[in-house]
Amino acid sequence: MISQDSLLKYDNPVLVSKNTERKSPKSRPLKVIPQQMAVSGPVPPPPKPKSPPENAYKQQTEEILNAILPPKEWIEENQLWVQPVSSAPCTRMDVINLQKELDQKLQQKQARETGICPVRRELYSQCFDELIRQVTINCAERGLLLLQVRDEIRMTIAAYQTLYESSVAFGMRKALQGEQGKSDLEYRILELESEKRDLEKQVNEQKAKCEAIERQEAERQEIEEKKHAEEVQFLKRTNQQLKAQLESIITLKNKA
């Protein structure tokens, strides 16, 4: 048999049936847990008979423990083995040893000290189950209350895990959509850049035309101004000549 590797304390395994194929069809199906096999060793002798009230209290405690922490069952060599959790009372030294064993396993399995770590979570879950077992032996009601706390914590963690997985899937979908949209935008950018180059070419052509028209207009205006200036000078000279002729005529008349 494989030695157990759990912080939860179990009793020695008990052989229930030597031939599992002849069990009644109404019997409860067995669950094989290969990673949590019992410690090899002989089955301890039955305890000495005790007083009826003590036996009844112990039986009730064992029933509550089996309901809270179900026993492990497995098949080995066509034999059914059952290993219930221990119902032995705990002491202060048991708690101290549990703390030491927890620290030792955290170090051996290289559990992370911070952040999400499945190894650390599993070890602390086993430690919590062991504490529930120890408390239930002394006070069953307190153990049941701790069981509710444990189940609520597990349900909350499962809800957070579902939410995390959903958010990761949502993020992946958005990332894929972003990559898809990115290629479309890159193609659109290329189109706009080509259109921009065409428009810049048209603007440069229009600027060249505008500059040519401005040069032609400036030359035409200069020619017009020069022509106008020459006409003004010609009219001034003609006016001077006419004025001089008029003055000479007036002078001749006065003399006559």
User: Per the domain annotation, does 202 fall within a domain?
Assistant: no
Q: Which of 62-76, 180-194, 238-252 shows the lowest mean pLDDT across its residues?
A: 62-76
Number of domains in the chain: 1
- Whether 126 maps to a domain, the answer reads yes
Mean pLDDT: which of 14-28, 37-51, 187-201 is highest?
187-201
Structural domain includes residue 108: yes
- From residue 69, give the alpha-carbon distance in Å to each of 85, 128, 131: 7, 11, 11
For residue 178, the model assigns a pLDDT of 80
Interval 156-174: pLDDT, tens: 999 998 998 999 999 898 8
> Could you tell me if residue 28 is inside a domain?
yes
Those residues with Cβ within 8 angstroms of residue 178's Cβ, 6 or more apart along the chain or in another chain = none
| Residue 82, phi-psi category: left (phi > 0), alpha (psi -120 to 50), beta (remainder) | beta
**pLDDT tens digits, residue range 66-124?**
888 888 888 888 888 888 888 888 888 888 988 998 999 889 888 888 888 888 888 99
The answer to whether residue 143 sits within a structural domain is no
Backbone angles phi, psi at 215, to 5 degrees: -65, -45
Cα–Cα distances in angstroms (integers) from residue 102 to residues 113, 125, 137, 181, in the given order = 13, 11, 21, 51
Closest Cα to residue 2, out of 90, 109, 81, 117?
81
Residue 76 lies in a domain: yes
SS3 229: helix
120 located within any domain: yes
222: in domain: no
Amino acid type, 15: L
How far, in whole angstroms, is CA 173 from its chain's centroid? 12
Structure confidence by residue, pLDDT tens digits, 15-44: 877 654 444 444 444 443 333 333 334 444
Share of the chain above pLDDT 70, in %: 82
pLDDT of residue 193: 94
* Residues spanned by the domain of 19: 14-138
Distance, in Å, from the CA atom of 118 to the CA atom of 105, rounded to the nearest integer, reads: 13
Cα–Cα distance between 256 and 254 in angstroms, integer? Answer: 5
Q: In the 8-state DSSP scheme, what is residue 222?
A: H
| Cβ(1)–Cβ(13) below 8 Å | yes
- Residue 57 contacts residue 138 (beta carbons within 8 Å): no
Strand residue runs (E) in 72-182: 72-75, 80-83
- In Å, what is the CA distance from 184 to each residue of 129, 172, 181, 188? 56, 19, 5, 6
* Model pLDDT, residue 200: 95
